[in-house]
C-alpha cells in the first residue's frame, strides 16, 4: 500500500513534535513502601519531524509501547525512547506519563489509615542525551497570615496545590517530594479524618499561616539542601476562599549553574 506519511513535503517546515496523546495505559511505578505500584497513565508520545517528511506513522507509537507492555517503568523509559527514534527515523523522541499515585497515610490523632492520591508525571526526552523530569502535584492547605493578623476571630484558609518538578542525579522517591510539599504548607490534607483529627488539622493550619510565597520558599530551602536534586521548578497555587481568583508563586533553579 502507498506510504503517504513518507511522501516528500515541499514546504520545508520541520515540526518540533508530532505524535499521540491521551492514551490510557497500565504502568508500574517504584513504591517506597511496597516496591512497585500498579497504576494507569495518560500517555503522550512524540518525535521531531524533519521538513522533508509529510507525516509520521502514528500507529507505530502504540506498537512500540505494546512491545514494552510488561515493562512500562521508570527504568525502561530510555529504552522506549531509543526504539521510538529508531522505528520512526527521528533525531529526538519524547514521552510523558501522567498518573495517579497512592500513598497510605495515617490521620494525625486517631491514626486511622486511608489512601491519598497524588497526580504525578514522568517527563522524558532523548536526542543525543537522555533527559528526565519527575513532577509531583501535592494538594495542601494554606492559611492567610494577613487574615490571621487583622481578624479578631479566625482567618481564611483554603486548599492549595504545590507542584514540584526535579531533575536528579540519583533516585528521589515520590513520597519524599510529597513530604517536602506538605511540610512546607500550613497543613497537609487527608482522605479520612475523625473529629479529633479535624481539630488537630484546623489548629495546626492556624498556628502555621503561610502565603503562597512562604510555601514556595520553604520548598526551595528543602530542595536546596538535597545534593541529589540538580534542577527544580516550584509552582504553588492557592484556590482563594474569599476571592474569585487564585494566588500563585513560582521559582525555577538550576543548581548546576551555581
pLDDT tens digit string along 212-252?
A: 999 999 999 999 999 999 999 999 999 999 999 999 999 99
Measured in degrees and rounded to the nearest 5, phi and psi for residue 209 equal -65, 140
Which of 100, 134, 152 represents a domain boundary (last residue)?
Answer: 100
Reduce the DSSP state of residue 151 to 3 states and report it.
coil
Q: What is the mean pLDDT of the chain?
A: 93
Mean pLDDT calculated for residue range 51-64: 81
Q: Which of 225, 203, 193, 235 is nearest to 109 (CA)?
A: 193
Same domain, 197 and 243: yes
pLDDT interval class at 126 (50, 70, 90): very high
Rounded Cα–Cα distance for residues 84 and 163 (Å): 29
Measured in degrees and rounded to the nearest 5, phi and psi for residue 211 equal -75, 165
Same domain, 93 and 167: no
The answer to whether 120 touches 162, Cβ cutoff 8 Å, is: no
Rounded Cα–Cα distance for residues 73 and 205 (Å): 37
Mean pLDDT calculated for residue range 84-92: 93
pLDDT interval class at 7 (50, 70, 90): low
pLDDT interval class at 52 (50, 70, 90): confident
Same domain, 176 and 118: yes
Q: In this predicted structure, what is the pLDDT of residue 234?
A: 98
Q: How many domains does the chain have?
A: 2
For residue 163, give the CATH number of its domain: 3.10.270.10
Same domain, 189 and 158: yes
Which of 100, 130, 163 represents a domain boundary (last residue)?
Answer: 100
Which of 100, 134, 157 represents a domain boundary (last residue)?
Answer: 100
What is the pTM (predicted TM-score) of this model? 0.93
pLDDT interval class at 181 (50, 70, 90): very high
pLDDT > 90 in the chain, percent: 84
Same domain, 17 and 128: no
Same domain, 126 and 34: no
Amino acid at each position: 500500500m502507498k506510504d503517504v506519511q513518507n511522501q516528500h513535503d515541499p514546504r520545508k517546515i520541520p515540526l518540533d513534535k508530532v505524535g499521540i496523546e491521551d492514551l490510557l495505559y497500565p504502568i508500574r511505578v517504584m513504591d517506597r513502601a511496597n516496591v512497585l505500584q500498579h497504576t494507569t497513565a495518560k500517555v503522550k508520545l512524540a518525535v521531531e519531524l524533519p521538513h522533508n517528511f509529510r507525516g509520521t506513522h502514528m500507529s507505530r507509537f502504540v506498537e512500540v509501547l505494546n512491545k514494552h507492555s510488561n515493562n512500562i517503568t521508570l527504568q525502561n523509559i530510555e529504552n522506549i525512547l531509543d526504539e521510538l527514534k529508531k522505528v520512526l527515523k527521528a533525531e529526538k523522541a519524547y514521552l510523558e506519563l501522567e498518573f495517579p499515585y497512592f500513598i497510605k497515610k495515617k490521620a494525625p490523632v486517631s491514626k486511622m489509615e486511608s489512601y491519598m492520591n497524588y497526580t504525578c508525571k514522568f517527563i522524558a526526552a532523548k536526542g543525543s542525551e537522555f533527559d528526565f523530569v519527575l513532577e509531583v502535584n501535592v494538594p495542601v492547605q494554606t492559611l492567610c497570615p494577613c487574615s490571621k493578623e487583622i481578624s479578631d476571630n479566625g482567618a481564611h484558609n483554603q486548599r492549595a496545590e504545590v507542584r514540584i518538578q526535579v531533575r536528579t542525579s540519583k533516585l528521589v522517591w515520590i513520597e519524599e517530594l510529597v513530604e517536602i510539599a506538605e511540610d512546607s504548607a500550613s497543613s497537609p490534607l487527608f482522605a479520612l479524618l475523625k473529629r479529633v483529627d479535624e481539630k488537630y488539622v484546623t489548629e495546626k493550619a492556624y498556628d502555621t499561616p503561610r502565603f503562597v510565597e512562604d510555601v514556595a520558599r520553604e520548598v526551595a530551602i528543602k530542595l536546596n539542601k538535597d545534593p541529589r536534586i540538580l534542577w527544580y521548578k516550584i509552582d504553588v497555587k492557592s484556590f482563594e476562599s474569599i476571592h474569585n481568583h487564585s494566588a500563585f508563586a513560582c521559582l525555577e533553579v538550576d543548581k548546576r549553574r551555581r
